[in-house]
């Protein structure tokens, strides 16, 4: 159980004003920090993020995690939320770390947001990003993994009613809103040439029913970098939260931190 009380950061104006909950465990070390971006409908107390947080604490690495608006203990209406909102929140959270170099770890939707954040940093010439770790990255999720897979009947429900409640493999049916689909089209990466300016490590289960492994493989070709490694886990599901999966995630983050620390010397 996570005993650390969250702090809150206020963002947005008018109807978009919301308080975003976060937890920052700092360290006096000079190495890179770790920043976690959760999956859709997940939060900062999920199995993977708590395990990584415990590991970071034990290793003396600062770690920042937060809940998107409409998720966890953050404010916001999930039925009105969008990819653009969550990207804005991720950028604001990154700024809490100041000028420190950062390893961004994104799971599922968080993998897409991590790529969008990295692309924006690279375009701005901002060198804070020291590496990306993407776990079952659901890039272009709203279009390729939601809209493109919907039947004509389901699309009509989204268009006319504004929301469709999709069956879930893990919990109650979840909302796919017209806002989410339409606003998500402003952030698609499918044209390729994605410049991230940092090493990328992708962890992907071959038995993932939500993000097919070929979706991760296609991402490798879209990245405008040669420093990209894709690890396929034969028995891996979408969550990749078993003991060996967690140790693999820790090793992957540790290797990027070591590389970034050496390059800074």
Residue 75 within any structural domain of the chain:
yes
pLDDT at 209: 94
pLDDT digit string, tens, across residues 48-77? 999 999 999 999 999 999 999 999 999 999
Q: Report yes or no: 105 and 78 within 8 Å, Cβ to Cβ.
A: no
Residue 45 within any structural domain of the chain:
yes
Residue 18 within any structural domain of the chain:
yes
| pLDDT exceeds 60 at position 5 | yes
Q: What is the mean pLDDT of residues 204-225?
A: 96
Binned at pLDDT 50, 70 and 90, residue 265 comes out as low
User: Whole domain around residue 212: which residue ranges?
Assistant: 7-140+190-259
Q: What is the mean pLDDT of residues 218-239?
A: 96
Average the pLDDT over each of 83-87, 169-173, 180-184, 219-223 and give the range with the smallest value.
169-173
Residue 165 within any structural domain of the chain:
no
Residue 238 within any structural domain of the chain:
yes
Q: Report yes or no: 18 and 86 within 8 Å, Cβ to Cβ.
A: no
Q: Name every residue whose Cβ is closer than 8 Å to that of residue 224 and which is 6 or more positions away in sequence.
A: 192, 193, 194, 195, 196
| pLDDT exceeds 80 at position 242 | yes
pLDDT at 262: 85
Category of 60 on φ-ψ map: left (φ > 0), alpha (ψ -120 to 50) or beta: left
pLDDT digit string, tens, across residues 109-153? 999 999 999 999 999 999 999 999 999 999 999 999 999 999 999
Positions marked catalytic: 108, 208, 238
Residue 158 within any structural domain of the chain:
no
Cα torsion 256, 254, 217, 239: sign: negative
Q: What is the mean pLDDT of residues 23-39?
A: 89
Residue 173 within any structural domain of the chain:
no
State percent of the chain over pLDDT 70: 98
* 240 CB neighbour count, 10 Å cutoff: 22
Torsion angles phi and psi, residue 123, rounded to 5: -65, -35
* 211 CB neighbour count, 10 Å cutoff: 23
Residue 14 corresponds to which tokens in the numbers above?
């008018």
CATH number of residue 198's parent domain = 3.40.50.1820
pLDDT at 29: 67
| pLDDT exceeds 90 at position 26 | no
Number of domains, the chain: 1
Binned at pLDDT 50, 70 and 90, residue 80 comes out as very high
Residue 64 within any structural domain of the chain:
yes
């Amino acid at each position: 159980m996570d005993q650390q009380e969250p702090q809150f950061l206020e963002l947005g104006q008018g109807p978009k004003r919301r308080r975003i909950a976060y937890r920052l465990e700092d360290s006096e070390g000079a190495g890179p920090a770790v920043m976690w971006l959760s999956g859709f409908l997940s939060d900062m107390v999920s199995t993977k993020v708590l395990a990584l947080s415990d590991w970071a604490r034990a290793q003396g690495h600062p770690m920042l995690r937060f809940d998107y608006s409409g998720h966890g203990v953050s404010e916001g209406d999930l039925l009105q939320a969008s990819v653009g909102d969550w990207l804005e929140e991720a950028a604001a959270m990154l700024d809490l770390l100041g000028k420190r170099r950062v390893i961004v770890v994104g799971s599922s939707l968080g993998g897409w947001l991590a790529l969008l954040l990295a692309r924006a940093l690279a375009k701005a010439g901002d060198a804070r990003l020291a590496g990306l770790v993407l776990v079952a990255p659901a890039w272009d999720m709203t279009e390729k993994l939601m809209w493109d897979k919907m039947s004509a009947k389901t699309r009509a429900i989204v268009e006319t009613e504004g929301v469709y409640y999709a069956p879930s493999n893990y919990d109650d049916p979840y909302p796919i809103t017209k806002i989410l689909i339409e606003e998500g089209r402003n952030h698609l990466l499918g044209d390729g040439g994605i410049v991230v300016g940092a090493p990328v490590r992708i962890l992907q289960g071959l038995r993932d029913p939500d993000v097919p492994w070929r979706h991760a493989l296609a991402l490798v070709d879209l990245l405008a970098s040669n420093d990209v490694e894709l690890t396929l886990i034969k028995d891996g599901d979408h969550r990749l939260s078993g003991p060996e999966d967690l140790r693999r995630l820790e090793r992957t983050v540790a290797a990027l931190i070591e590389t970034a620390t050496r390059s800074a010397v």
